[in-house]
Structure 1
Amino acid sequence: MSAASSAGYPESGMPRATYAGERVGEETKPSYKTTELMAFVAAVVAVLIASAVVGDDARGVDRFPAGQAWLYVTLLTIGYMISRGLAKSGSRGRDDGARV
């Protein structure tokens, strides 16, 4: 008996499109090819440079200490990870073993 297990799927459970070599969906771009990575790196560099450049105030107190700069870098990293997660969560792709 060779009935399909569900609409569009043969008994093996793999979609028919994979048999024909057709891609079912496209994966999102790798992170190094996105503008959000470039914006993230630029923002991190800007925060660290700003922390190094901003000097002391009239009383000799650092106005932008390293601890605060690293907090901002951490927040930027969290935001970047969330944005990549959201980008990947809506994509449908398969891993065919091809590495570029």
Structure 2
Amino acid sequence: MATSTHIQDQNTTVKGARFRGEETKPSFKTTELIVYVLAVIGVLIASNAVGDGAANNGTDYFAADKAWWYITLLTVGYMISRGLAKAGSRSSDADPRTR
């Protein structure tokens, strides 16, 4: 949402300058975060639920190290997706000293 502002500096007055807000939403308001959290919970539940099957020989098909590897991959993917979302965003800095 763009708003009209009035900025007055010692040497410069800008009337009616229009500044756009941030282009992307905060991470806690996105579906990316919800999907990421649900995927991590799903990996942890699957790692806990999957055992050795009918073999009953004490081996674990989906051990904790493999689960944490998948969680690391999910985290890297989430960070890349947020980085791409923020790549095109503009700064909403209205400080006249930075111009």
Looking at structure 1, the residues matched to 46 and 77 of structure 2 have their Cα atoms a distance apart, in angstroms, of 20
Q: Which runs of 5+ in 2 are unaligned?
A: 1-12, 95-99
| Correspondence 1:22-41 to 2 at 5 A | 22-24=18-20, 26-41=22-37
1:81 counterpart residue number? 79
Tell me if the contact between 1:56 and 1:62 (Cα under 8 Å) persists in the aligned partners: yes
Within the candidate set 48, 51, 63, 2:47 is matched to: 51
- Shift, 1:20, TM fit: 2.6
Q: Which residue identity is paired with 1:75?
A: L
Looking at structure 2, the residues matched to 24 and 79 of structure 1 have their Cα atoms a distance apart, in angstroms, of 29
Looking at structure 1, the residues matched to 87 and 74 of structure 2 have their Cα atoms a distance apart, in angstroms, of 20
Return the TM-score normalized by structure 2: 0.71
Return the TM-score normalized by structure 1: 0.71
- Shift, 1:55, TM fit: 1.1
Q: Which has a greater percent of strand?
A: 2
Q: Give the alignment's Cα RMSD to 1 decimal.
A: 2.3
Q: Compared with structure 1, are the counterparts of its residues 22 and 54 closer, same or farther at alpha carbon in structure 2 (3 Å cutoff)?
A: same
Q: Which residue identity is paired with 1:86?
A: L
Q: For this pair of structures, how many residues does the alignment match?
A: 81
SS at match of 2:19: coil
SS at match of 1:20: strand
* Segments of 4+ moved more than 4 angstroms: none
